[in-house]
Amino acid sequence: MTQSVQAAVCLPGLKTEVREFPMPEIAPDAGMLKVELSGVCGSDWSHYNNYPKSKGPLILGHEAVGYVDRLGPFAGKRFGVKEGDRVALEEYLPCGHCDYCREGDFRLCDETDTLNRPNAIRFGSTPASIAPSLWGGYAQYQYLHPNSVFHQVPAHVPAKLASLALPLGNGVEWAFLQGGAKIGEAVVIQGPGQQGLACVVAAREAGASNIIVTGLSNPADQRRLELAKKLGAHHTFSVEEHDLLETVADLTGGDMADLVIDCASGGPATVTGAINIARKRGRIILGGRKWQHIPEFNSDLLIMRFLTLRGMRGHSYKAVELGLEIIASGRYPLEELCTHSFSLAQTDSALRTVGGIGEPGAIHCTVEAWR
């Protein structure tokens, strides 16, 4: 009897449906992952809420952790893993030979760059109509494409913490590798969501001496700001209760921020705010997409204050490796980021919770396929 695989399929109208797929035959250079669980990214909610009709039904989930279940005869050597290994998958399926791939910047490879090439293939955003269908982590098993990118997960790390590998990798990329946070610097992080909190950890690891996190006055943000302090932030405040410019000036002794990381996903005010609170020769990382133009953007301020402004997305291979090292170290109470867990049949609730219309208090949620 052919083995079947259960997976939660994303459909139009904010719906998911658990369907059965046949276990695929594996090519010599491919494999299968037995999924422990998969994290629910904010981009999953965006995808779900703005269902791309051109793609049709698909299996979301690109933060999968699990065990290598099967490998084709050539796959083990190509992947650098063996059957039974516990791994975290990256979402990217890069070509492996372009300049970006050679540098470990898989996110920029044309083969997997879905932001610039909508039909590019990557885990968690490829239609189920493309064989062998099992492209996402919200499933019992996930297909391992020949271009898959793996990270080994230590046996002592709980699966929920391991699912933070990519979000924390983003924090390391944004705050440290690209933002350049270092000993003695003042870092302002706008937005206390999972990406902002990951940046707190990375900035603290880098030695920043004054980490300031801003948010809103709503209960969800207030809980996250409290967690930001547990993770290493020195100061937090609500921009609805305190003036951004005046408060940052007060907290930095008038020096302002060496690095500002905008992780907020709201309107464009945080972009102009980030520019205003950066000191001369400061760096600004824009990680939260605004989905609109900024008519009041004053580029002259970049010149006047010798600022560096950089758009940011995703992570490099090195960032995820560093993120996993931080997770494995146990130095931070990262388990407090892991707020909700859902079964495969509850995938719709998981997505709605991350989107702010489900269960309250969410930071990082997971879907457990075997629960």
Domains of the chain are 4-153+333-368 (3.90.180.10), 166-311 (3.40.50.720)
pLDDT tens digits along 172-231: 999 999 999 999 999 999 999 999 999 999 999 999 999 999 999 999 999 999 999 999
With 0-12 / 13-18 / 19 or more C-beta atoms within 10 angstroms meaning exposed / middle / buried, residue 34 is middle
- What is the greatest pairwise CA distance in the chain? 71
pLDDT of residue 93: 96
d(CA 245, CA 267): 18
Tokens matching residue 60: 């979301």
pLDDT at res. 1: 38
In this structure, are residues 40 and 366 in contact, taking their beta carbons and an 8 Å threshold?
yes
| Res. 85: pLDDT tops 80 | yes
Place of tokens 């920029």: 108
Q: Give 32-59 pLDDT, tens digit per residue.
A: 999 999 999 988 988 888 876 667 899 9
Using 50, 70 and 90 to split pLDDT, how confident is the model at 266? confident
Q: Which two tokens stand for residue 210?
A: 């004054």
As a whole number of angstroms, the distance between CA 249 and CA 203 comes to: 19
